[in-house]
Amino acid sequence: MTTMRPLETRAAEAAAPFAAPGAEEGAWRRRHLLDLDDFSVDELDFVMRTTDAMKEVLSREVPRVPALRGTTIVTLFYENSTRTRSSFELAGKVLGADVINVSASGSSVTKGESLVDTVKTLQAVGADVLVMRHNRSGAPYLAARHAHCSVVNAGDGLHAHPTQGLLDLYTMRTSLGDVRGKRVVIVGDVLHSRVARSNMWSLTALGADVTVCGPPTLIPAGLGRDTEGRLPPVRVETDIDRAIEGADVVMTLRMQLERMHGGFVPGAREYSRLYQVNAARLGLAKPGALVLHPGPMNEGVEISHEVAHGLQSHVEEQVQNGVAVRMAVLWLITRGAGAKPARAAARGSL
Amino acid sequence: MQDSSVMSPADIRRAVTRIAHEIVEHNRGTEQLVFVGMLTRGVPLAYRIARAIAEFEGEQVPVGTLDIGLYRDDLGERGASVNIQPSQMPDIAGKRVVLIDDVLYTGRTVRAALDALIDYGRPERIQLAVLVDRGHRELPIRADFVGKNIPTSRADDVQVRLEETDGEEYVRVAAVEEAEAFR
């Protein structure tokens, strides 16, 4: 705004977003965010546009708005996490919500309380949003079925990690624009990756050309051969050089060390020799291709040190975008048309 | 439902030009002035006023855009939109900010805008310019510059349409019949 361009140009630019399709009121009807497998293109676009506005809030000197004042967010984590939990906590606080962190190890869960009872208890205490991570696939669905409040899946078992999928998408769109027709390669332990699953759904919904690559033991059965729409339409490639060639985005997954003991791969050295994303392999991708990693990284295993911290790495940007995307999600599910009406009414005016 | 056009494109043009002159006169020039257009239709109005001033004063007033969605107090009520846009704000600390919107009604939107503005810095003063003041304030807020005062009933629907955002240009009051309003 400081540089002076012709007023007409700026007026046209400023007015442009309002004509965007899909931005109509009430475009958002969800109360929960459980996975991206049923998201429409309009919904994904709407989250991305909302994230743009949240990025602006985060860029301010004092990033804090009163949007969710009076809203209580509880993070309930049955699995360890630093970045996802702190990202949600920060997102809630920037929007003015109260955030309470509950970890399973310090709660009644260790005394044998069931998931449903824990959810009901937290709801009775006043939770409007339950941000939940669980080691069992589907646990947030069970919680959502029994909850009046909103449930956000912060990762469930091997199933889904929708906010990671959204922040990856946002990071890609910031650099590439529309992802339609873009070549995205997901490399690594796809079988055990909820991040890969959520990404495959959102990216293919938007028309990206997705290839997954990894040892055959770590590729989900049937993936790439499904014709009934039950699995996302991706290509499977076990040769990493062929997979990466011409890619716009190389997404590396964490190679969990415990998988070595499970017999899925012979060992870390063998794995890195065959599937590590290193400078030589990255050279096969398009010049300037984006390197993404959901973290935490095992440098030297699935990704080389120089690539992890190289010019093409957008890992830090992913973390920053994570806060903005989670702000967008919290805002939409609690203030959108799908939110529980009682909560909205309980909120005082002024 | 009965329609009546209360401002033609020419009326709107004259009102914008008059507001532009009043702003410059009232502030004794354009020094330290910053315009902040409130999304959606305050934005094209802010640019029009800035353009008018550029023509007769030869000075360009910086224009920012403000989305007050995250500051509203009516969220969760019927019809509240979750659609928000990134604000684009110039530095307003120590500046004379003129907040610009299309319609002034209850004053709640302006109240939210004041909260939002102050989050960006401490302006020397804040003034308010609107194309239409339709009355029925619920807060102690008034406009410094008004294009046209239009007495309305609460049931009326004041429709402002501008070329830049709507592809057509008029101000119209759609009078809702009382029977319909209270149904």
Q: Are residues A152 and A264 in the same domain?
A: no
CB contact under 8 A, A339 and B76: yes
ipTM for the predicted complex: 0.89
A340 φ, ψ (degrees, to nearest 5): -60, 125
Q: Are residues A139 and A185 in the same domain?
A: no
CB contact under 8 A, B70 and A350: no
CB pairs under 8 A between A and B: 110
The domain spans of chain B are 2-73+85-181
Q: Name the least confident of A164-168, A197-201, B81-85, B88-92.
A: B81-85
**Number of domain units in chain A:** 2
CB contact under 8 A, B47 and A25: no
Diameter over CA atoms, chain B: 53
* Chain B neighbors of A19, CB-CB under 8 A: 165
pTM across the whole model: 0.90
d(CA A153, CA A194): 11
Nearest to B172 by CA among B1, B8, B58: B8
Task: Please report the pLDDT score of residue A23 as a whole number.
Answer: 45
Distance from CA of A165 to the nearest CA of B (A): 21
User: With 90 as the cut, is the pLDDT of residue A349 above it?
Assistant: no
Q: Which of A7, A25, A60 has its CB closest to that of B50?
A: A7
* Chain A neighbors of B115, CB-CB under 8 A: 66
d(CA B49, CA B63): 10
Q: Which fold has domain B2-73+85-181?
A: Rossmann fold (3.40.50)
Cis omega before residue B40 (within 30°)? yes
Per-residue tokens: A31: 């109360």
Centroid of chain to Cα A100: 21
d(CA A313, CA A292): 6
CB contact under 8 A, A1 and B73: no
Given pLDDT bands bounded at 50, 70 and 90, which one contains residue A347? very low
Task: Please report the pLDDT score of residue A197 as a whole number.
Answer: 97
Q: Which chain A residue lies closest to B111 (C-alpha atoms)?
A: A350
β-pair type (A129-134, B96-104):
unpaired
Q: Bigger pLDDT: A19 or A120?
A: A120
Q: Are residues A101 and A236 in the same domain?
A: no
CB contact under 8 A, B164 and A15: yes
Q: The domain that contains A314 carries what CATH number?
A: 3.40.50.1370
d(CA A188, CA A281): 14
* Residue-range definition of the domain harbouring residue A132: 28-159+321-342
Distance from CA of A149 to the nearest CA of B (A): 14
CB contact under 8 A, A335 and B44: no
Per-residue tokens: B32: 């330290």
Q: Bigger pLDDT: A266 or A183?
A: A183
Q: Are residues A179 and A215 in the same domain?
A: yes
d(CA A113, CA A42): 40
